Amino acid sequence: MTPGDALLDELADLTDEVRSLVEALARSGHREVEKGTGDPAWPSAGSAPAPRRGSSHPPGPRPAPLASDEDAEGAWSRFGGTGDPAARLEALRQRVEACTRCPLASTRRHVVFGEGQPGAILAVVGEGPGAEEDATGRPFVGEAGQMLDRMLTRVLEMKREQVYIANVVKCRPPGNRDPTPAELETCRGYLEEQLAIVRPRCLLALGRHASRFLLQSEQGIKTLRGTWGAWHGIPVMPTFHPAYLLRNPADKMLTFQDLKVLKARLAGGR
Ligand code: SF4
């Protein structure tokens, strides 16, 4: 198959996807999507109304009663920490990059600490580095990273630089196996420190492992996604991992709904 053939196949898949999205949204009353522009795999960010508390919610997630942003700030204050956040984050980076506390240190090529600035209103949390992340030392690169970028820009209308991105474990498990409970537990403190310095208003948990880890749940991502949870009092929206969406593009519709709920909260809606 030539690159041109592959591109045509991709376009055909995307056309099928957008047709099913439009039909689903039209059935639920969101006819504005018919005027949407941009990536057909992601309806335009303004195409579906933000859910309102007390309103009937379109298919998909129904937001739980939400704490105020002041509550989130109060939750962060329990972590303490003083001094310049950027300097603290850099000091933490240096500690993590020298870490040998678990066996993953012996097989990693690079520690993938995370990216972003203190004060980001949203932190995106994934599971752990894959091969490309291990090779580059950066989170969410490659195809899954490009998918994440589209989720951010085309639905949340945010650039990657505006969010904080980190994984639950900082070193790649060999062969892309799941991190063990002991590895997760050993690395846990680093993520907590990162988030306590950044102090995001909300967390977006990508995939089963990050969602189960943050929410301390044994449930699967298909059950967890789209419903607000909390991590130390900070609101968490679980949704599918971008790598999963690459394999299961039909579920982009569900992630679109999850991100719309998150977007409404970040904008101050309830
Ligand atoms: S995964 Fe975490 S705890 Fe294990 S070596 Fe890497 S940074 Fe240290």
Q: Structure tokens of 190?
A: 């680093």
Residue 71 banded pLDDT, cuts 50, 70, 90: low
Ligand 1 center–CA 65 separation, angstroms: 36
Instruction: Say what the pLDDT of residue 73 is.
Output: 66
pLDDT digits (tens, 9 = 90+) for 154-187: 999 999 999 999 999 999 999 989 999 999 999 9
**What is the residue whose two structure tokens read 């500690």?**
95
Binning pLDDT at 50, 70 and 90, where does residue 69 land? low
Q: Are 14 and 40 in contact (CB under 8 A)?
A: yes
Q: Which of 134, 171, 172, 194 to mutate to test the pocket of ligand 1 (most atoms within 8 A of CB)?
A: 171
> What's the token pair of residue 53?
């508390």
Residue 81's pLDDT is 75
Q: Which of 10-19, 38-47, 201-210 has the highest mean pLDDT?
A: 201-210
Percent of the chain with pLDDT over 70: 71
Which of 137, 257, 148 lies closest to 210, judged by CA? Answer: 148
> What is the per-residue pLDDT across 75-92, written as a single tens digit (0 to 9) for each?
677 677 778 999 999 999
- Among residues 132, 115, 112, the alpha carbon closest in space to that of 123 is found at 115
Longest dimension (CA), the chain: 57
Give the other-Cβ count within 10 Å of 8's Cβ. 12
Distance 184 CA to ligand 1 centre (A): 9
Decide: 239 and 226 in contact? Cβ < 8 Å.
Answer: yes
The residue to which tokens 């948990």 are assigned = 205
Q: Lowest-pLDDT range, 49-63, 91-105, 195-209?
A: 49-63
Question: Among the atoms of ligand 1, which is closest to the Cα of residue 186?
Answer: 3
The rounded Å distance from CA 115 to ligand 1 centre is 17
Q: What angle do CA 23, 17, 13 make, to 5 degrees?
A: 150
> Would you say the CB of residue 102 lies under 6 angstroms from ligand 1?
yes
How large is the average pLDDT for residues 122-140?
A: 96
Q: What is the pLDDT of residue 82?
A: 79
CATH number of 67-266: 3.40.470.10
* Contact yes or no for 42/150 (Cβ under 8 A): yes
Residue-range domain boundaries for the chain: 67-266
- Residue pLDDT, tens place only, 2-27: 444 444 345 444 444 545 444 444 44
Coil/strand/helix, residue 115: strand
Q: How large is the average pLDDT for residues 64-83? A: 64
Distance CA 191, CA 125 (A): 9
Alpha carbons 21 and 56: distance in angstroms, whole number: 20
Question: Is pLDDT of 121 > 50?
Answer: yes
Query: What residue ranges in the chain does DSSP mark as E strands?
Result: 122-126, 164-167, 202-206, 229-231, 234-239
Q: Examine the pLDDT at 104 and tell me if it is beyond 60.
A: yes
